[in-house]
Amino acid sequence: MTRVLLVEDEPAIADTLVYALETDRFVVAHALTGGDALEIFAQQAFDFVILDVGLPDMTGFDVCRKLRENSQVPVLFLTARAGEIDRILGLEIGGDDYVTKPFSPREITARVRAILRRSGAVAEFSSSAGSPKSTRALQHDSVAMRIHCHGVCLDLTAHEYKLLLVLLENQGRVFTRDQLLEKAWYDPGAVTDRTVDAHIKTVRAKMRHAAPGAEDLIQTRRGLGYVLVME
Ligand code: CA
């Protein structure tokens, strides 16, 4: 039984989502405000939180920050603005994924399942043996300077693009954070290795968004750095 806390103030959206989630056999609690959500979350155990960014009493960002003080529960954001995506996925807010409005209820339940599969699998440091990966999982369009993930064009910032390109062009090679800073930033002195981690996180999230359920192509080598593996 998977318990989901849905935080959404628009009744029409909330009703549709509650119905879709319950049809998919999730147990759903619904909160209309950030304050209510935090209160309910403190009293009951949840496996997942779906969080609208625009709430009447506080932002979904504030709610997520509060949750993150003592919980690593997966958080899927509902946002009306594409401009909020980088903040959502950044270290400051700590969201796991996002869906932009308008969306279909099916899209939400599929994402919830994909995120739960990932968090349950703890695949961060797993061996890549035997995992089905398409060689076309990532494709670089050098003319347009864009990278496609499973056919979907990734909406990357300049640094994310360079970072992913370095990894993509050197598949199987492990890069330390310092090496990635040097290759993907013009002025590596101005940033820290935490910057690399933050950008890797947003790149991963954007790839997951492009291909829900697909495996992480960027692997973390603990104590060493990152490597992109496609088979
Ligand atoms: Ca809202």
- The secondary structure of 157-203 as a DSSP string is -HHHHHHHHHHHHTTT--B-HHHHHHHH-S-GGGS-HHHHHHHHHHH
Taking the centre of ligand 1 as the mean of its atom positions, its distance from the CA of residue 40, in whole angstroms, is 18
Is residue 11 domain-shared with residue 108, that is, in the same domain?
yes
Taking the centre of ligand 1 as the mean of its atom positions, its distance from the CA of residue 45, in whole angstroms, is 24
State the average pLDDT over residues 144-171. Answer: 90
Host domain of residue 149: 133-228
Examine residue 128 and state whether it is found in any structural domain, yes or no: no
Examine residue 150 and state whether it is found in any structural domain, yes or no: yes
Instruction: Select from 98, 123, 148 the last residue of a domain.
Output: 123
Taking the centre of ligand 1 as the mean of its atom positions, its distance from the CA of residue 29, in whole angstroms, is 17
| Residues flanking ion ligand 1, Cβ below 5 Å | 9, 52, 54
Find, among 50, 54, 1, the residue nearest to 30 by Cα: 50
The tens digit of pLDDT for each residue in 53-100 reads: 999 999 999 999 999 888 889 999 999 887 888 778 776 788 888 899
Is residue 55 domain-shared with residue 143, that is, in the same domain?
no
Is residue 110 domain-shared with residue 202, that is, in the same domain?
no
Taking the centre of ligand 1 as the mean of its atom positions, its distance from the CA of residue 119, in whole angstroms, is 27
Examine residue 55 and state whether it is found in any structural domain, yes or no: yes
Distance, in Å, from the CA atom of 222 to the CA atom of 89, rounded to the nearest integer, reads 21
Find, among 141, 13, 14, 147, the residue nearest to 5 by Cα: 14
φ, ψ of residue 108 in degrees (nearest 5): -65, -50
Kindly report the average pLDDT of the chain as a whole number: 86
Instruction: Select from 100, 123, 146 the last residue of a domain.
Output: 123
Examine residue 75 and state whether it is found in any structural domain, yes or no: yes
Is residue 115 domain-shared with residue 141, that is, in the same domain?
no
The tens digit of pLDDT for each residue in 89-118 reads: 776 788 888 899 889 998 999 899 888 887
Taking the centre of ligand 1 as the mean of its atom positions, its distance from the CA of residue 87, in whole angstroms, is 17
Is residue 91 domain-shared with residue 112, that is, in the same domain?
yes
Taking the centre of ligand 1 as the mean of its atom positions, its distance from the CA of residue 83, in whole angstroms, is 16
DSSP state of 126: -
pTM: 0.58
Instruction: Select from 123, 149, 184 the last residue of a domain.
Output: 123
- The whole-number pLDDT of residue 131 equals 37
Is residue 89 domain-shared with residue 187, that is, in the same domain?
no
Distance, in Å, from the CA atom of 66 to the CA atom of 86, rounded to the nearest integer, reads 19
